[in-house]
Amino acid sequence: MKKAVSLVLTALLLALATGASAQVRFGVVGGITSSTSNVKDFKASSVSLYHVGATLKVPLGGFLALQPSLLYHMKGAALDDILGNASNAKFETKTGYVEVPLQIQAGMKIGPVRPYVFGEPFIGFGLTNKSSETLQQTLENKWEDANINRWEYGLGLGAGVELLGHIQLSAKYFWNFGSLVNDENKISASAIGETVRYAFKDGKNFNGLTISLALLF
């Protein structure tokens, strides 16, 4: 985790330093996020949420550009039949992260259009969480009771198109690394915390797809 934070922060500082002599564009970005989890022993389904924030494009010359952002990013997952035997008992968790992704772009301008591909490491810290389970009390921002880890880090891979240097439309697939569980050895007092501990053990976390629209000024 510390290595991931150091890598992203170092690259972010490099982007800001490079931006002093480059044609930097500030902007706003937002879009939809569809996330789920690769949990075992449960049937997982996707949850449609959103992300919104500010972005900064720093051209590096040639085909390359760096684009760090500061986002509020909602991610989640839903599990069905958590009690087995087609019980219809459901579990759902949604976490809102303050997230810092660093997009590393490679693209070529063709007239007014610039198609590009990118890799995007990111780190984040959970600001909000809502976890619920059928017949159980809903927990909101009860991180210890829900046994939810507030830190996240991961990687996204995607592609996009930039129009007239001011409009970007992109799509990416992302993987959250590490575990959603705060402590796999902790016996929680709540049924929700126990579901989290069992379902998301062994490093399970969110993954999914985002579609984003950015306006650069």
Domains and CATH numbers, the chain: 2-211 (2.40.160)
How does pLDDT run across 51-105, given as a tens digit for each residue?
A: 999 999 999 988 999 999 999 999 999 998 887 665 678 999 999 999 999 999 9
Per the prediction, the chain carries an average pLDDT of 90
> Which residues are bridge partners to 209 per DSSP?
34, 173
d(CA 51, CA 212): 8
Residue 175 pLDDT class (50, 70, 90 cuts): very high
% the chain with pLDDT above 70 = 88
d(CA 152, CA 1): 8
How does pLDDT run across 13-65, given as a tens digit for each residue?
A: 565 555 545 689 999 999 999 999 999 788 899 999 999 999 999 999 889 99
Q: Hey, what amino acid is at 175?
A: W
Give the residue among 71, 167, 172 at the shortest CA–CA distance from 117.
Answer: 172
- Decide if pLDDT at 160 tops 60: yes
d(CA 214, CA 168): 5
- Decide if pLDDT at 155 tops 60: yes
- Decide if pLDDT at 10 tops 80: no
When mean pLDDT is compared across 18-22, 119-123, 198-202, the lowest value belongs to 18-22
User: Are the CB atoms for 40 and 11 separated by under 8 Å?
Assistant: no
> Which residues are bridge partners to 174 per DSSP?
156, 208
